[in-house]
Amino acid sequence: MYLMNKRIIKILFGVFLSIGLSQANAQVFPKIIKKNTSQSQTSTERRNIELREFDQESYLKTLTSQTDSLLFQNDINLARIRSIINEDPFSMIWAPTNQLVKVSEQVQIDSIWVTAFEYYSSWDSKKVDIYNLDIKNFQDSVLLRLYDQRLGTDWKFPLDQSKKTSEFGARWGRMHYGTDLDLDTGDPVYSGFDGIVRVRAYDRYGWGYFVLVRHKNGLETLYGHLSKQIAQVGDEVKAGDIVGKGGSTGRSTGSHLHYEMRYKGLAFDPEKVYDFEKGELTQQDLFINKDLFSHIAKARAAAYHRVKRGDTLGAIARRYGVSVSQITRLNGISTRSILRVGQNLRVK
Protein backbone atom coordinates (compact mmCIF):
# COMPACT_ATOMS: atom_id res chain seq x y z
CA MET A 1 0.00 0.00 0.00
CA TYR A 2 2.76 2.35 0.92
CA LEU A 3 4.62 1.55 -2.31
CA MET A 4 1.46 2.12 -4.37
CA ASN A 5 0.85 5.52 -2.80
CA LYS A 6 4.46 6.47 -3.38
CA ARG A 7 4.15 5.46 -7.05
CA ILE A 8 0.94 7.49 -7.45
CA ILE A 9 2.60 10.53 -5.89
CA LYS A 10 5.53 10.26 -8.36
CA ILE A 11 3.12 9.98 -11.29
CA LEU A 12 1.13 13.04 -10.18
CA PHE A 13 4.34 15.00 -9.56
CA GLY A 14 5.53 14.19 -13.07
CA VAL A 15 2.21 15.29 -14.58
CA PHE A 16 2.24 18.62 -12.70
CA LEU A 17 5.87 19.22 -13.65
CA SER A 18 5.19 18.62 -17.35
CA ILE A 19 2.17 20.94 -17.26
CA GLY A 20 4.23 23.66 -15.56
CA LEU A 21 6.99 23.38 -18.15
CA SER A 22 4.45 23.50 -20.97
CA GLN A 23 2.91 26.64 -19.57
CA ALA A 24 6.32 28.22 -19.09
CA ASN A 25 7.25 27.47 -22.69
CA ALA A 26 3.86 28.76 -23.89
CA GLN A 27 4.51 32.07 -22.12
CA VAL A 28 8.02 32.58 -23.43
CA PHE A 29 7.52 31.56 -27.07
CA PRO A 30 5.02 34.26 -28.11
CA LYS A 31 7.10 36.95 -26.40
CA ILE A 32 10.12 36.06 -28.48
CA ILE A 33 8.12 36.12 -31.71
CA LYS A 34 6.48 39.44 -30.81
CA LYS A 35 9.79 41.04 -29.95
CA ASN A 36 11.42 39.96 -33.20
CA THR A 37 8.42 41.16 -35.26
CA SER A 38 8.41 44.54 -33.55
CA GLN A 39 12.13 45.03 -34.11
CA SER A 40 11.77 44.09 -37.77
CA GLN A 41 8.87 46.49 -38.32
CA THR A 42 10.66 49.29 -36.49
CA SER A 43 13.78 48.84 -38.59
CA THR A 44 11.75 48.87 -41.81
CA GLU A 45 9.85 51.99 -40.78
CA ARG A 46 13.08 53.72 -39.76
CA ARG A 47 14.66 52.91 -43.13
CA ASN A 48 11.59 54.26 -44.93
CA ILE A 49 11.67 57.48 -42.93
CA GLU A 50 15.38 57.94 -43.53
CA LEU A 51 14.94 57.47 -47.28
CA ARG A 52 12.07 59.95 -47.61
CA GLU A 53 12.97 63.60 -48.29
CA PHE A 54 10.70 66.64 -47.96
CA ASP A 55 9.54 67.80 -51.40
CA GLN A 56 9.36 71.58 -50.96
CA GLU A 57 8.10 72.28 -54.50
CA SER A 58 5.27 69.75 -54.20
CA TYR A 59 4.39 71.10 -50.75
CA LEU A 60 4.07 74.69 -52.00
CA LYS A 61 2.06 73.67 -55.08
CA THR A 62 -0.41 71.73 -52.95
CA LEU A 63 -0.63 74.60 -50.47
CA THR A 64 -1.25 77.12 -53.24
CA SER A 65 -3.98 75.05 -54.91
CA GLN A 66 -5.84 74.34 -51.68
CA THR A 67 -5.52 77.64 -49.83
CA ASP A 68 -6.57 80.66 -51.87
CA SER A 69 -7.81 82.17 -48.62
CA LEU A 70 -8.18 81.36 -44.92
CA LEU A 71 -4.79 79.69 -45.00
CA PHE A 72 -5.20 77.86 -41.73
CA GLN A 73 -8.31 76.83 -39.84
CA ASN A 74 -6.56 76.47 -36.50
CA ASP A 75 -5.37 79.26 -34.26
CA ILE A 76 -2.05 80.63 -35.48
CA ASN A 77 0.44 82.38 -33.22
CA LEU A 78 1.08 85.51 -35.27
CA ALA A 79 3.24 87.59 -32.99
CA ARG A 80 3.90 85.97 -29.66
CA ILE A 81 7.66 86.41 -29.75
CA ARG A 82 9.21 89.66 -30.92
CA SER A 83 12.75 90.88 -30.38
CA ILE A 84 15.41 93.09 -31.91
CA ILE A 85 18.01 91.43 -34.11
CA ASN A 86 21.08 92.67 -35.97
CA GLU A 87 21.05 90.26 -38.90
CA ASP A 88 19.93 90.64 -42.51
CA PRO A 89 16.36 92.02 -42.20
CA PHE A 90 15.21 90.41 -45.45
CA SER A 91 16.15 86.78 -44.75
CA MET A 92 13.10 84.54 -44.47
CA ILE A 93 12.55 81.07 -42.98
CA TRP A 94 10.45 78.78 -45.18
CA ALA A 95 7.11 77.37 -44.10
CA PRO A 96 7.45 73.80 -42.77
CA THR A 97 10.06 74.76 -40.17
CA ASN A 98 7.65 77.03 -38.28
CA GLN A 99 10.67 79.12 -37.30
CA LEU A 100 11.10 82.80 -36.56
CA VAL A 101 10.85 85.21 -39.47
CA LYS A 102 13.01 88.32 -39.77
CA VAL A 103 11.27 91.33 -41.28
CA SER A 104 12.47 94.69 -42.48
CA GLU A 105 12.11 96.54 -39.19
CA GLN A 106 14.26 93.96 -37.41
CA VAL A 107 11.28 92.37 -35.68
CA GLN A 108 10.97 88.62 -35.33
CA ILE A 109 7.54 87.08 -35.79
CA ASP A 110 6.82 83.54 -34.62
CA SER A 111 4.32 82.69 -37.34
CA ILE A 112 4.14 80.01 -40.00
CA TRP A 113 1.26 82.02 -41.49
CA VAL A 114 3.56 84.81 -42.61
CA THR A 115 5.62 82.50 -44.84
CA ALA A 116 3.30 79.61 -45.66
CA PHE A 117 1.80 81.00 -48.86
CA GLU A 118 3.92 82.39 -51.70
CA TYR A 119 2.14 85.74 -51.39
CA TYR A 120 3.02 85.98 -47.71
CA SER A 121 6.71 85.26 -48.21
CA SER A 122 7.21 88.98 -48.97
CA TRP A 123 7.34 91.13 -45.88
CA ASP A 124 8.40 94.76 -45.52
CA SER A 125 7.32 97.14 -42.76
CA LYS A 126 8.46 100.28 -44.60
CA LYS A 127 6.81 100.14 -48.03
CA VAL A 128 3.11 99.77 -48.83
CA ASP A 129 3.40 98.15 -52.26
CA ILE A 130 6.14 95.52 -52.15
CA TYR A 131 4.76 93.13 -54.75
CA ASN A 132 5.51 95.02 -58.00
CA LEU A 133 2.64 93.27 -59.75
CA ASP A 134 2.10 94.50 -63.33
CA ILE A 135 -1.61 94.51 -64.13
CA LYS A 136 -0.77 93.55 -67.73
CA ASN A 137 0.55 90.23 -66.45
CA PHE A 138 -2.31 89.57 -64.05
CA GLN A 139 -3.89 86.34 -65.28
CA ASP A 140 -5.13 84.87 -62.00
CA SER A 141 -8.73 84.31 -61.03
CA VAL A 142 -8.89 83.86 -57.28
CA LEU A 143 -11.85 83.33 -54.98
CA LEU A 144 -11.18 84.74 -51.51
CA ARG A 145 -13.30 83.81 -48.51
CA LEU A 146 -13.38 87.14 -46.68
CA TYR A 147 -14.50 85.68 -43.37
CA ASP A 148 -15.99 82.51 -41.93
CA GLN A 149 -17.40 82.59 -38.42
CA ARG A 150 -17.35 78.79 -38.25
CA LEU A 151 -13.57 78.97 -38.50
CA GLY A 152 -13.29 81.80 -36.01
CA THR A 153 -12.74 84.65 -38.50
CA ASP A 154 -15.04 87.65 -38.69
CA TRP A 155 -15.37 91.15 -40.15
CA LYS A 156 -16.05 94.66 -38.84
CA PHE A 157 -16.71 98.07 -40.33
CA PRO A 158 -13.66 100.32 -39.86
CA LEU A 159 -15.86 102.89 -38.06
CA ASP A 160 -18.88 102.80 -35.79
CA GLN A 161 -20.80 104.71 -38.47
CA SER A 162 -20.34 104.52 -42.23
CA LYS A 163 -21.12 107.90 -43.78
CA LYS A 164 -19.28 108.05 -47.11
CA THR A 165 -17.83 111.44 -48.12
CA SER A 166 -15.75 110.52 -51.18
CA GLU A 167 -15.69 107.54 -53.50
CA PHE A 168 -12.98 105.44 -55.05
CA GLY A 169 -11.88 106.59 -58.53
CA ALA A 170 -10.56 109.53 -60.54
CA ARG A 171 -10.82 112.82 -58.65
CA TRP A 172 -9.50 116.27 -59.61
CA GLY A 173 -7.28 114.84 -62.32
CA ARG A 174 -5.72 112.14 -60.17
CA MET A 175 -6.70 108.70 -58.93
CA HIS A 176 -8.24 108.35 -55.48
CA TYR A 177 -7.41 104.81 -54.36
CA GLY A 178 -9.75 104.55 -51.38
CA THR A 179 -13.11 105.47 -49.90
CA ASP A 180 -13.35 108.41 -47.49
CA LEU A 181 -15.57 107.99 -44.43
CA ASP A 182 -16.66 110.83 -42.16
CA LEU A 183 -15.57 110.86 -38.53
CA ASP A 184 -14.66 113.15 -35.65
CA THR A 185 -11.04 113.47 -34.61
CA GLY A 186 -10.35 110.87 -31.94
CA ASP A 187 -12.99 108.37 -33.11
CA PRO A 188 -11.77 104.75 -32.92
CA VAL A 189 -10.72 103.10 -36.17
CA TYR A 190 -11.08 99.31 -36.33
CA SER A 191 -9.37 96.54 -38.26
CA GLY A 192 -11.76 95.25 -40.91
CA PHE A 193 -10.64 91.61 -40.67
CA ASP A 194 -8.26 89.37 -38.72
CA GLY A 195 -4.61 89.93 -39.52
CA ILE A 196 -1.24 91.31 -38.55
CA VAL A 197 0.05 94.89 -38.76
CA ARG A 198 2.66 95.22 -41.52
CA VAL A 199 3.23 99.00 -41.83
CA ARG A 200 2.92 101.85 -39.35
CA ALA A 201 4.26 105.09 -40.82
CA TYR A 202 3.73 108.76 -41.73
CA ASP A 203 3.17 110.08 -45.26
CA ARG A 204 3.46 113.85 -45.36
CA TYR A 205 2.05 114.23 -48.88
CA GLY A 206 -0.78 111.74 -48.66
CA TRP A 207 -2.08 109.44 -45.94
CA GLY A 208 -0.54 111.27 -42.98
CA TYR A 209 -0.31 108.87 -40.05
CA PHE A 210 -1.49 105.51 -41.34
CA VAL A 211 -1.57 101.79 -40.53
CA LEU A 212 -1.62 98.91 -43.01
CA VAL A 213 -2.86 95.46 -41.97
CA ARG A 214 -2.23 92.21 -43.82
CA HIS A 215 -5.20 89.87 -43.42
CA LYS A 216 -5.62 86.12 -43.30
CA ASN A 217 -8.06 86.28 -46.20
CA GLY A 218 -5.36 87.45 -48.62
CA LEU A 219 -6.16 91.18 -48.64
CA GLU A 220 -4.49 94.21 -47.06
CA THR A 221 -6.30 97.29 -45.73
CA LEU A 222 -4.91 100.78 -45.18
CA TYR A 223 -6.23 103.33 -42.66
CA GLY A 224 -5.12 106.90 -43.43
CA HIS A 225 -5.19 110.42 -41.88
CA LEU A 226 -5.09 109.06 -38.33
CA SER A 227 -4.52 111.42 -35.42
CA LYS A 228 -2.97 108.56 -33.42
CA GLN A 229 -1.56 105.17 -34.34
CA ILE A 230 -2.25 102.51 -31.71
CA ALA A 231 -1.31 99.21 -33.37
CA GLN A 232 2.38 98.38 -33.69
CA VAL A 233 4.17 96.53 -36.50
CA GLY A 234 3.85 92.80 -35.84
CA ASP A 235 0.73 93.11 -33.67
CA GLU A 236 -1.90 90.44 -34.19
CA VAL A 237 -5.31 92.06 -34.62
CA LYS A 238 -8.80 90.64 -34.78
CA ALA A 239 -11.69 92.16 -36.69
CA GLY A 240 -12.89 95.05 -34.54
CA ASP A 241 -9.59 95.68 -32.73
CA ILE A 242 -8.64 99.37 -32.62
CA VAL A 243 -5.68 100.21 -34.87
CA GLY A 244 -5.77 103.99 -34.38
CA LYS A 245 -7.79 107.16 -33.81
CA GLY A 246 -9.34 109.17 -36.64
CA GLY A 247 -7.97 112.56 -37.65
CA SER A 248 -6.91 114.83 -40.51
CA THR A 249 -3.15 114.37 -40.90
CA GLY A 250 -1.29 114.41 -44.20
CA ARG A 251 -3.02 115.62 -47.37
CA SER A 252 -6.44 116.25 -45.87
CA THR A 253 -8.89 119.15 -45.69
CA GLY A 254 -10.93 117.81 -42.79
CA SER A 255 -11.21 114.90 -40.38
CA HIS A 256 -12.06 111.65 -42.16
CA LEU A 257 -10.81 108.10 -42.64
CA HIS A 258 -9.17 107.21 -45.94
CA TYR A 259 -9.85 103.47 -46.27
CA GLU A 260 -8.11 101.34 -48.89
CA MET A 261 -8.39 97.67 -49.82
CA ARG A 262 -5.52 96.01 -51.69
CA TYR A 263 -4.65 92.65 -53.21
CA LYS A 264 -0.94 92.05 -53.85
CA GLY A 265 -0.38 95.79 -53.65
CA LEU A 266 -3.11 96.73 -56.13
CA ALA A 267 -5.89 98.92 -54.72
CA PHE A 268 -9.51 98.25 -55.69
CA ASP A 269 -12.88 99.81 -54.88
CA PRO A 270 -13.91 99.01 -51.26
CA GLU A 271 -17.53 99.15 -52.42
CA LYS A 272 -16.91 95.82 -54.13
CA VAL A 273 -16.90 94.47 -50.58
CA TYR A 274 -18.91 96.97 -48.48
CA ASP A 275 -22.33 98.56 -48.80
CA PHE A 276 -21.59 101.68 -46.77
CA GLU A 277 -25.20 102.92 -46.83
CA LYS A 278 -26.66 99.69 -45.40
CA GLY A 279 -23.69 98.95 -43.18
CA GLU A 280 -23.22 95.48 -44.64
CA LEU A 281 -20.74 93.38 -46.57
CA THR A 282 -21.94 92.82 -50.11
CA GLN A 283 -20.57 89.28 -50.20
CA GLN A 284 -18.70 86.71 -48.18
CA ASP A 285 -16.55 85.58 -51.11
CA LEU A 286 -14.66 88.02 -53.34
CA PHE A 287 -13.82 86.97 -56.89
CA ILE A 288 -10.57 88.59 -57.96
CA ASN A 289 -9.59 88.88 -61.61
CA LYS A 290 -8.10 91.42 -64.00
CA ASP A 291 -11.38 93.33 -64.33
CA LEU A 292 -11.24 94.32 -60.67
CA PHE A 293 -8.20 96.48 -61.48
CA SER A 294 -9.27 97.95 -64.84
CA HIS A 295 -8.99 101.45 -63.35
CA ILE A 296 -5.25 101.01 -62.85
CA ALA A 297 -4.52 100.55 -66.55
CA LYS A 298 -6.48 103.72 -67.32
CA ALA A 299 -4.85 105.72 -64.55
CA ARG A 300 -1.36 104.63 -65.57
CA ALA A 301 -1.86 105.51 -69.24
CA ALA A 302 -1.15 109.19 -68.46
CA ALA A 303 -1.34 111.42 -65.41
CA TYR A 304 -1.12 115.21 -65.19
CA HIS A 305 -0.57 117.64 -62.36
CA ARG A 306 -1.80 121.24 -62.35
CA VAL A 307 0.88 123.41 -60.77
CA LYS A 308 -0.15 125.30 -57.63
CA ARG A 309 1.58 128.12 -55.81
CA GLY A 310 4.62 126.82 -53.94
CA ASP A 311 4.98 123.62 -56.00
CA THR A 312 8.47 122.39 -56.88
CA LEU A 313 9.56 119.57 -59.17
CA GLY A 314 10.85 117.64 -56.17
CA ALA A 315 7.57 117.93 -54.26
CA ILE A 316 5.53 116.94 -57.32
CA ALA A 317 7.77 113.94 -57.98
CA ARG A 318 7.41 112.70 -54.38
CA ARG A 319 3.64 113.16 -54.48
CA TYR A 320 3.24 110.89 -57.51
CA GLY A 321 6.03 108.48 -56.65
CA VAL A 322 8.12 109.31 -59.72
CA SER A 323 11.54 110.85 -60.33
CA VAL A 324 12.26 114.48 -61.22
CA SER A 325 14.08 113.31 -64.34
CA GLN A 326 10.92 111.53 -65.52
CA ILE A 327 8.87 114.72 -65.19
CA THR A 328 11.45 116.81 -67.03
CA ARG A 329 11.72 114.22 -69.81
CA LEU A 330 7.95 113.91 -70.30
CA ASN A 331 7.49 117.69 -70.46
CA GLY A 332 10.65 118.73 -72.33
CA ILE A 333 11.89 120.95 -69.51
CA SER A 334 14.96 121.07 -67.29
CA THR A 335 15.42 121.13 -63.54
CA ARG A 336 16.02 124.88 -63.83
CA SER A 337 12.74 125.61 -65.63
CA ILE A 338 10.34 127.99 -63.87
CA LEU A 339 6.96 126.46 -63.04
CA ARG A 340 3.88 128.59 -63.70
CA VAL A 341 0.76 128.43 -61.55
CA GLY A 342 -1.93 126.62 -63.56
CA GLN A 343 0.60 124.83 -65.77
CA ASN A 344 -0.22 121.18 -66.53
CA LEU A 345 2.69 118.81 -66.10
CA ARG A 346 2.60 115.21 -67.23
CA VAL A 347 3.94 113.05 -64.43
CA LYS A 348 3.28 109.57 -65.87
pLDDT tens string 283-340:
898 888 877 776 665 555 557 788 888 899 999 988 888 888 888 888 889 888 889 8
CATH number at residue 340: 3.10.350.10
User: Does any domain span residue 116?
Assistant: yes
Please, how many CA atoms are within 13 Å of residue 259, restricted to the half-sphere of its CB? 29
Q: Are 110 and 97 in contact (CB under 8 A)?
A: no
CB 225 within 8 A of CB 260: no
* pLDDT exceeds 70 at position 55: no
Looking at the whole model, is its pTM more than 0.85?
no
How much is the pLDDT for 253? 87
Beta bridge partners of 276: none
85 and 132 within one domain: yes
Q: Are 213 and 226 in contact, with CB atoms under 8 Å apart? A: no
At a CB cut-off of 8 Å and minimum separation 6, what does 210 contact?
Answer: 199, 200, 201, 202, 203, 222, 223, 224, 225, 226, 229, 250, 258
Q: Distance (Å, rounded) from C-alpha 346 to C-alpha 250?
A: 23
φ/ψ (deg, to 5) at 290: -60, -35
Instruction: Check pLDDT > 80 for residue 32.
Output: no
- Is 16 found in the same domain as 114? no
Q: How confident is the model at residue 19 (pLDDT cuts 50, 70, 90)?
A: very low
Q: Is residue 267 part of a domain?
A: yes
Do β-strands 220-226 and 208-215 pair in parallel, antiparallel, or remain unpaired?
A: antiparallel
Same domain for 242 and 266, yes or no, is yes
Domain boundary among the residues 105, 139, 173 is at 139
pLDDT digits (tens, 9 = 90+) for 171-184: 665 678 889 999 99
- Residue 126: which domain range? 67-139
268 shares a domain with 169: yes
Is 60 exceeded by the pLDDT of residue 100? no
Residue 90 and residue 125 in one domain: yes
In a domain, 58, yes or no: no
Determine the Cα angle at 334 with ends 207 and 206, to 5°: 5
Radius of gyration over every alpha carbon of the chain, rounded to an integer in angstroms: 33
Residues 181-233 pLDDT 10s: 999 999 999 999 998 899 999 998 889 999 999 988 889 999 999 999 999 98
**Does the pLDDT value for residue 343 go beyond 50?**
yes
Q: Give a yes or no: residue 84 inside a domain.
A: yes
176 and 248 in a common domain? yes
Choosing from 81, 112, 139, the residue where a domain stops is: 139
Domain count for the chain, please give it: 4
Could you tell me which residues come within 8 angstroms of residue 263 by beta carbon, excluding any fewer than 6 positions away? 144, 218, 219, 220, 288, 292
51 pLDDT band, cuts 50/70/90, is very low
3-class SS at 242?
A: strand
- For residues 179 and 220, the answer to whether their CB atoms sit within 8 Å is no
Mean pLDDT to the nearest integer, 101-116: 40
Q: 115 with 245, same domain?
A: no
Do 199 and 128 meet the contact criterion of CB atoms below 8 Å apart?
A: yes
Residues 154 and 288 reside in one and the same domain: yes
Does 62 reside within a domain?
no
Mean pLDDT to the nearest integer, 252-277: 90
Q: Are residues 157 and 282 in the same domain?
A: yes
> Is 297 among the domain residues?
no
* Residue 61 covered by a domain: no
Same domain, 134 and 172: no
What's the pLDDT at 159?
Answer: 94
Residue 57 placed within a domain:
no
Model confidence over 62-96: pLDDT tens digits?
555 444 444 444 444 444 433 332 233 333 333 33
Say whether pLDDT at 244 is over 90. Answer: yes
Q: Are residues 88 and 123 in the same domain?
A: yes
Same domain, 245 and 324: no
Residues 233-242 have pLDDT tens digits of 888 899 999 9
